[in-house]
Structure 1
């Protein structure tokens, strides 16, 4: 019974993401979703990659795996969730890309941008930032130091 309810929930989500939003937002829907993802991230600030992973699962966006981390980029694989009828989600992933860009901006205190590569059952997000272009924001490390004084 639980599985049937989950499919129903995913089907409703699929209708909104795959059909309604592109219709309402028109040809700019990918860009609008990217900025919408950034706005979501500002409303749900996370403190670590592990929290980002948990958020993706809770949001029903899929399972996140870190494939590679470098000084100024991270490669993230998103394993797509199953939707109604057992098929894999196939809708636009710019919402998730914007969400990742904003979360990584928060974690690195540097402007970040996400690039998407779509595969059949997975999506790759390549998030880049420039460590030389550092915001004046407090990082988690400086907040811990200043709160302990």
Structure 2
């Protein structure tokens, strides 16, 4: 894990909580404006970059990171030898889906992909599937056990 754990950061920054409105201004309006049509792809790669700065040893730590970061409640729906389906939900996600039908969760998808790569030592990719009816996001994570990552 990083030098400062997410729990330590949360304790230190709990007093400085940002209202959801402020978060949404940046996430849904400013970033798409700055990144233009490439926003989803850039957010995916930025999610991977964040995961490299905060390497987590287990899926349970990844789930905890989502809660600590305010990204929502991440749960395992299915798991097989080569893929996993995760579900992400929260009041903020429900609101984002309701208020912006074009919102994406590529930051979270990239973060999950990179964490799985690090935890399983294989190349992984994550696909998002918004479910507006349930107001949750499904992520399908796929990996190939034969596509090992070279340790440097």
User: How far apart are residue 77 of structure 1 and its match?
Assistant: 0.3
* Residue of structure 2 equivalent to 1:16: 26
The runs of 5 or more residues in structure 1 that have no matched partner are 139-149
The runs of 5 or more residues in structure 2 that have no matched partner are 1-15, 98-102
The reply to whether residue 36 of structure 1 matches residue 49 of structure 2 is no
The reply to whether residue 131 of structure 1 matches residue 138 of structure 2 is no
1:47 alignment partner, SS class: coil
Count of paired positions: 130
User: How far apart are residue 9 of structure 1 and its match?
Assistant: 1.4
Q: Return the TM-score normalized by structure 1.
A: 0.81
Equivalents in 1 of 2:76, 2:142: separation in Å?
Answer: 14
* Residue of structure 2 equivalent to 1:147: none
User: How far apart are residue 137 of structure 1 and its match?
Assistant: 2.8
Could you tell me whether the CA contact under 8 Å between 1:80 and 1:89 is conserved in 2?
no
2:149 alignment partner, SS class: coil
Equivalents in 2 of 1:119, 1:35: separation in Å?
Answer: 23
Q: Deviations over 1:14-60 (max 9, x none)?
A: 11001100000000000000000000000000011110111001111
User: How far apart are residue 92 of structure 1 and its match?
Assistant: 1.7
Q: Return the TM-score normalized by structure 2.
A: 0.80
The reply to whether residue 68 of structure 1 matches residue 78 of structure 2 is yes
* Residue of structure 2 equivalent to 1:89: 96
Equivalents in 2 of 1:81, 1:62: separation in Å?
Answer: 8
More strand by share: 2
Question: Larger Rg: 1 or 2?
Answer: 1
User: How far apart are residue 88 of structure 1 and its match?
Assistant: 1.8
The reply to whether residue 78 of structure 1 matches residue 92 of structure 2 is no
